[in-house]
Structure 1
Amino acid sequence: MEDLFAHLLALTSYISRQFIRFVEDLVSRDVYICSQDARVSSSGQCFRYLGSSISQSILHNCPTVPKPSNAGGSLQARERRVSDLKEQLPVNCSEVVETCQSRWSGPFLFQGFILPIFGLRLAWRLAITCWKSFFLHIRHVQIRVCSFISRVQRTLHGSSSEIGWLQRAPGVPHVKDGTTRFMELLDGIRNGEHTLPNSFVYLLIPGLFSNHSPLYFVSTKRFFSKMGLACHIAKIHSEASVEHNAWELKQYIEELYWGSGKRILLLGHSKGGVDAAAALSIYWSALEDKVAGLALVQSPYGGTPIASDILREGQIADKEARRIMELLICTLIKGDIRALEDLTYEKRKEFIMKHKLPEQVPLVSFHSEASVAPGVLAMMSHIGHAELPWFPFASFGGEESNCVPMSHKVPVLIPLAAAMAVSALHLQLRYGEKSDGLVTRSDAEVPGSVVVRPERKLNHAWMVYSSQKKDPYEPDAREVCEALLTLLVEIGK
């Protein structure tokens, strides 16, 4: 029993000495590296070799059966281990080993201090780690706050610096005011003076969402046909991109020209004017002898703040707004989100700088201002038309009975005037700009064109839908279109 206790005591003493010696070697290595870093910085490989050799030596020399030994024996063993390492190390590391041997000559120096030093080291590293985590968290919060502030500022700023950018661009040709001449022609048309020549084909180009408005430009086409004029409505995908519609219009113009032998006069409303201008800008070499002029009616040639404010990146709820528009345009009406993107200021700047309108083509720009009177805000003054789905009805014309599909168009009250008035009031209060509800007056003026600025209050949808209460003393959309094309013919001469 006494031998057993003696062996346990010896084993405990040996494990304690080995642990203290191991920690001493680690601390001595770190202290020496810190003190001699500037002197032997090029010998980093040597230090790593020294630390690994010490660790391997400790594990290799650890006996399987513990034997009691005194402090002196332990010192002698450590001296022998260091001398063996000196023989294995390169020459430039001998000074390191000698310094370690001279400074840490015995275990009595560290047995009382090694644990406090190790604790201070651990506490210092923990403190440094905590401070780094704290500062990283503060930095993350600061980045998020700055991002939120930037989004708020971008949202509040909106399109303030972009409205009318085209008029301020350097080297842009000036516009010419043709309002007076336009009013003279309009008065003559209302008095029965129709001077549009039959030597042209008149192509009407509808704007955005025209595929869902079956009566878009229909009354104007009938009005022209009654005068014996060749008039067509371009059958394009209104919810497609500008470049796609430009290609479609190019094909359409060439078909009309080769089929009739007459040059084409274009009149585009809203996005239709932008599509027509894009066709002339991109394919002018093929259309130069086929197109006689272009009239842009309430077209956002420079862009529109409505589209930019909805799709601008970096503002509050920008991703949510884009998802909503993609749901409406792409999913519900099977269109392309680029149809709206191409009307933003960013896309219009990119396109106009890349594709400029030719100087030879006659141009007319027409823009108006919507009324924001309280009476307009509260009324529903315009009507649209919805087509009911067809049902098979039996037709008894004789012995055989046939099923004839029938459909019916019914008028639907739409508060377009009120919606345009609210939008125009919003743009006026936010940006101080006059508009027709969707397009500001400055963005609708094409550089180098003859501009028509009527004093009458007309919203953006006035050219498309007829009013429920038509004023006999005011010209309608058909007469305005005729006056614009008549002015375009005069400019071409």
Structure 2
Amino acid sequence: ARDLPAAAAAAEWLDAAAGDSVARLRAAREAARAFVDARASWTEVPADLMRQMSNALASTAASRGDVGWLDDEAAGTTIDGESAFEEALEGVLARPGSVLATGAEYFYLLVPGLFGSYYPRYYADVEQAFRDRGAQCRISRLVDGEGAVVTNAKALAREIEDIHAETGKRVVIIGHSKGGVDGGAALALHDDRLRKLVRGLIAVQSPFGGSPIATDLLSAPLADPVASLLEILVSAPKGDGARLLEPICDLTYRERRAFLAAHPIPSHYPVVSFATATKSAAAGLFPSARYIDNRYGEPSDGLVCVRDAQIPRAVCVNVKFENDHADCVFPSRHPSDMVDAHARAQAENLALRQRLGLCDSPRRGPPLPPPVGVSVVAAQRALADALPERLKSSPASVDYHEALVGVLLARPGP
């Protein structure tokens, strides 16, 4: 009952924004309900914990001096890929599947990002569309959304070897967010195993240099409260928050500087990076994008700054169209069995990782996905349906993913 005022206020605002269309009004109401459901996950969070985090965030600037460091180091080594991308995208829009047809000799492995296992149908739209367009493609089964970079790199190396053994094809790694970081780590740490098996890496919105959100959240006064918050939000056992912090820590500027200094991506692999920024107040991640802009003056997709997604010696595609960090991977439709199907897949993947010894530690807690992940996916899609103008001029995720494949395949491979 205490959520009714919040639901009414959210619905009123979204109704006004959506206009008179029946479909848009329905989507606005669905978005309001989804936001209330997501908010319900926070009701168990102690008020003093939230105050502690809010006060610490208000005073921290832990990322100052680090944002864009890799872009500065990469200067002179990168290739501006905007024109090549636009040309490839034009071809894809005219003939969907045309690029994938030329790359039929490759297998496309989609690698979800941090806590990707929490979100039903993460990357499923791209997977299905690639298959419909004739490509062999799947979402990684061995990468752990809660896993550290080094562990996931080992898992990817094993999965790529298995794919090549099954299909005889070389693999194109397409990693979103931390998935791109994990993919780069696999190439760096397991080059001897992968050199003849991998065609290249596409890193989509990946924080190769680090993330200000990860860095600020794990700054000294915030690490313990964030661990406690994660335990509550995903119903993890008491004390498990420290384990959940490990993959976030991997994305801090300090950790990324150290890792890349020791393990750069070997130069014989072609790499394409892709970065977006959101400026729309209708974006689900606009609050975090505004935080980054206000605190550091940097454009971002809400989690990753454009300058932190640049990779040395890569073809860098920095687009001008609107997309936040979730737009390219969250689903456009929600089948009735979405949550159950996701839970079954995650249980199977976890059992497979455990059997192969590819888990950081035994996972405790309830099955995935947590309710908060389901609510976030629902809210993002309902908001996009209620306010479609935000993405009206943006190409569909599957189309620009195929265009990025075209940019990659135009580069010589190992």
Scaled by the length of structure 2, what TM-score is found? Answer: 0.67
Residue in structure 1 matched with residue 104 of structure 2 by the alignment: 198
Question: For the Cα contact (< 8 Å) 2:322–2:394, is it kept in 1?
Answer: no
Matched, 1:177 2:80: yes
Residues 165 and 257 of structure 1: CA distance in aligned 2, closer, same or farther (over 3 Å):
same
Pair 1:291-2:195 in alignment: no
Distance 1:464 1:371 in 2: 19
Find out whether 1:167 has 2:71 as its counterpart: yes
CA distance in structure 2 between the aligned counterparts of 1:341 and 1:455, rounded to whole angstroms: 30
1:324 to 219, 222, 229: 229
8 Å Cα contact 1:372-1:424 kept in structure 2: no
Q: Does 1:157 align with 2:61?
A: yes
Q: Tell me, what secondary structure is at the counterpart of 2:174?
A: strand
Contact 1:330 1:337 in 2 (8 A): no
Instruction: Name the structure 1 match of 2:299.
Output: 434
Which amino acid is the alignment partner of residue 191 of structure 1?
A
Is the CA contact (8 Å cut-off) linking 1:177 and 1:452 kept in structure 2? yes
1:359 maps to 267
1:372·1:425 contact (CA, 8 Å) conserved in 2?
no
Equivalent positions of 1:248-327 (< 5 A) are: 248-313=155-220, 316-325=221-230, 327=232
Q: CA separation in 2, counterparts of 1:457 and 1:268?
A: 20
The 1:308/1:348 distance shift into structure 2, 3 A limit, reads: same
Q: Provide, for residues 129-177 of structure 1, a one-character-per-residue CA deviation record: whole Å limited to 9, x for no partner.
A: xxxxxxxxxxxxxxxxxxxxxx9899443211111112334x8762110
Check 1:318–1:154 CA distance in 2 against 1; reply closer, same or farther (3 A cut): farther
Distance, in Å, in 1 between the alignment partners of 2:121 and 2:226 is 30
Which of 311, 320, 340 lines up with 1:446 in the alignment?
Answer: 311
Relative to structure 1, the CA distance from residue 189 to residue 322 in structure 2 (aligned partners, 3 Å threshold; closer, same or farther) is: same
- Superposed displacement of residue 253, structure 1: 0.3
The one-letter code matched in structure 1 to 2:158 is Q
CA pair 329-276 structure 1, distance change in 2 beyond 3 A? farther
Structure 1 stretches lacking a partner, 5+ long: 1-150, 377-416
**Greater displacement, 475-484 / 461-470:** 461-470
Counterpart secondary structure, 2:203: strand
- Seen in structure 2, the aligned counterparts of structure 1 residues 189 and 344 have a Cα distance that, compared at 3 Å, is same
CA contact (8 A) 1:304 1:443 kept: yes
RMSD over aligned Cα atoms:
2.5
Any unmatched runs of 5+ in structure 2? 1-54, 333-383
Indicate conservation of the 8 Å contact 1:310/1:322, yes or no: no
Inter-partner Cα distance in structure 2 for 1:351 and 1:238: 19
1:188 corresponds to which letter in structure 2?
A: G
Determine which structure has greater relative contact order: mean sequence separation of CA pairs < 8 Å that are 6+ residues apart, divided by chain length.
2
> So what's the TM-score if we normalise by structure 1?
0.57
| SS of equivalent residue, structure 2 residue 236 | helix
Query: For residues 76 and 263 of structure 2, what CA distance do their matches in structure 1 show?
Result: 15
C-alpha distance in 2 between matches for 1:267 and 1:284:
17
> 1:323-359 deviations in whole A, cap 9, x for unaligned?
3345546826986321111011111111111111100
User: 1:266 offset after TM fit, Å?
Assistant: 0.8
1:477 corresponds, among 390, 394, 397, to 397
Q: Which residue of 2 aligns with 1:44?
A: none
> Corresponding residue for 2:378?
none
Match of 1:64 in 2: none
Cα distance, 1:317–1:201 mapped onto 2, change above 3 Å: closer
SS at match of 1:248: helix
Structure 2 Cα separation of the partners of residues 198 and 152 of structure 1:
51
Note the C-alpha offset of 1:474. 4.0
Instruction: Kindly name which structure, 1 or 2, has the bigger radius of gyration based on alpha carbons.
Output: 1
> Sequence identity, in percent?
34
For the pair 1:424 / 2:330, whether they are aligned, the reply is: no
SS at match of 1:455: strand
CA 1:284 to 1:372, structure 2 compared with 1: closer, same or farther past 3 Å? Answer: same
Q: Deviations over 1:170-209 (max 9, x none)?
A: x876211011110111111111151222110111111122
